[in-house]
């Protein structure tokens, strides 16, 4: 039975992905950020031998637990949100999101890639974001972290090809899904000392519009392609959803060139 490790699987898309895989032939290592989350998940899945829960804060040596498993499939889903204007955020805030979303994720990807190269098999799937393609005001630090991760994963894939390795790398680029992740980022910009205080009413209306009309309340479309990326044994690299958000994001990206 193949071993799959999924990070940041306590909530949102990662949690839904685990549920969608329960009937597949995998041993699922469901990893979560905190000890409390671990206790809750371990209790939930205590009678399911196909699921093992682990506490893996990707910013710590917990990462070693993943390496010890030598997974057949690694699904890097964990990420932190950070909203706020680039003028208002501290460098420490920006450092923290880069450390988590880029460095910690890539450290795991790099180490597990090396294990997979030795066996000449394995698959690494990374959740990035459409936000990594376009500059979104008040989400600049997050967009940049995902853009960096996208570039690292793209280059790693090219290098694996040069090695003629069977190790596959795939990327999931979701649009807006109502997991609470975006709301957290939206709210973080409303600070006492913000440069944008005069714009708060307008910004609040925009956030409400996005939450109400643009964010998908059901995760099926993205979970379906996350699962497809796991099951597909082909060269397809990028899985994006929903299409009606992908098209404007790609057009915006082209217009910025």
Ligand X SMILES: NC(=O)c1ccc[n+]([C@@H]2O[C@H](COP(=O)([O-])OP(=O)(O)OC[C@H]3O[C@@H](n4cnc5c(N)ncnc54)[C@H](OP(=O)(O)O)[C@@H]3O)[C@@H](O)[C@H]2O)c1
- Nearest residue (CB) to ligand X, 108 versus 167: 108
Tell me: does residue 188 bind ligand X (CB under 6 A): no
Tell me how far, at minimum, the Cβ of 222 lies from ligand X, in Å: 8
Nearer to ligand X among residue 194 and residue 224 (C-beta): 224
The secondary structure element, H or E, covering residue 241 is strand 238-241
Q: Is 80 in the site for ligand X (CB under 6 A)?
A: yes
Residue that is written with structure tokens 């597990």 in the block: 112
Name the nearest CA neighbour of 235 among 161, 143, 126, 163: 161
Q: Measured from the CB atom, is 162 or 243 closer to ligand X?
A: 243
Which of 5, 30, 33, 89: binder of ligand X (CB under 6 A)?
A: 33
Question: Measured from the CB of residue 180, what is the shortest distance to ligand X in angstroms?
Answer: 6
User: Least CB distance from residue 230 to ligand X, whole Å?
Assistant: 15
3-state DSSP helix/strand/coil percent for the chain, to nearest 5?
A: 50, 15, 35
Q: Which is nearer to ligand X, 59 or 194 (CB)?
A: 59
Using the minimum distance from each CB to ligand X, give the nearer residue, 117 or 238: 238
- Region label for 31, one of left (φ > 0), alpha (ψ between -120 and 50) or beta (otherwise): beta
User: Nearest CA to 144 among 78, 98, 84?
Assistant: 98
Q: With binding defined as CB under 6 A, does residue 77 bind ligand X?
A: yes
85: left (phi over 0), alpha (psi -120 to 50) or beta: beta
Torsions phi, psi for 2 (to 5 deg): -70, 145
Residue among 19, 34, 155, 244 that touches ligand X (CB under 6 A):
34
11 sits near ligand X (criterion: CB under 6 A): yes
144 binds ligand X (CB under 6 A): no
Size of the site for ligand X (CB under 6 A): 27
Which residue number is nearest to ligand X in terms of Cβ? 12
Cis preceding-peptide flag for 7 (omega within 30 of 0): no
Nearer to ligand X among residue 137 and residue 197 (C-beta): 137
x/- mask, ligand X, residues 168-187, rule CB under 6 A, reads ------x-xx-x-xx-----
First to last CA, the chain: 46
- Closest CA relative to residue 129, chosen from 173, 87, 86, 170: 173
- Smallest distance from the beta carbon of 108 to ligand X, in angstroms? 10
Three-state DSSP at 84 gives coil
Say whether residue 58 binds ligand X (CB under 6 A): yes
Q: Measuring CA to CA, how many Å separate 22 from each of 5, 40, 58, 63, 212?
A: 13, 18, 24, 24, 31
Based on CB atoms, which residue is closest to ligand X, 11 or 154?
11
Binding interface with ligand X (CB under 6 A): 7-8, 10-14, 33-34, 56-59, 77-80, 100, 127, 129, 131, 174, 176-177, 179, 181-182
């Amino acid at each position: 039975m193949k071993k799959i490790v999924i990070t940041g699987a306590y909530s949102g898309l990662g949690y839904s992905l685990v549920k969608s895989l329960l009937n597949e032939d995998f041993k699922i290592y469901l990893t979560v950020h905190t000890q409390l989350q671990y206790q809750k998940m371990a209790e939930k899945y205590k009678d399911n031998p196909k699921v093992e829960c682990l506490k893996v804060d990707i910013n710590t040596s917990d990462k070693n637990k993943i390496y010890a498993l030598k997974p057949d499939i690694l699904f890097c889903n964990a990420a932190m949100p950070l909203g706020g204007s680039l003028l208002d955020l501290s460098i420490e805030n920006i450092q923290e999101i880069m450390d988590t979303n880029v460095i910690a994720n890539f450290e795991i990807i790099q180490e597990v890639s090396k294990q997979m190269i030795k066996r000449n098999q394995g698959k690494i799937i990374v959740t990035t974001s459409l936000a990594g393609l376009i500059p979104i005001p008040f989400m600049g630090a997050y967009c940049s972290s995902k853009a960096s991760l996208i570039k690292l994963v793209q280059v790693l894939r090219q290098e694996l090809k040069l090695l003629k390795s069977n190790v596959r790398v795939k990327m999931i680029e979701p649009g807006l899904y109502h997991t609470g992740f975006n709301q957290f980022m939206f709210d973080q910009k409303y600070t006492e000392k913000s440069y944008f205080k005069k714009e708060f009413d307008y910004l609040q209306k925009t956030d409400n519009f996005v939450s109400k009309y643009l964010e998908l309340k059901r995760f099926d479309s993205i979970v379906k392609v996350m699962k497809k990326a796991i099951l597909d044994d082909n060269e397809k690299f990028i899985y994006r959803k929903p299409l009606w958000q992908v098209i404007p994001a790609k057009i915006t990206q082209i217009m910025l060139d």
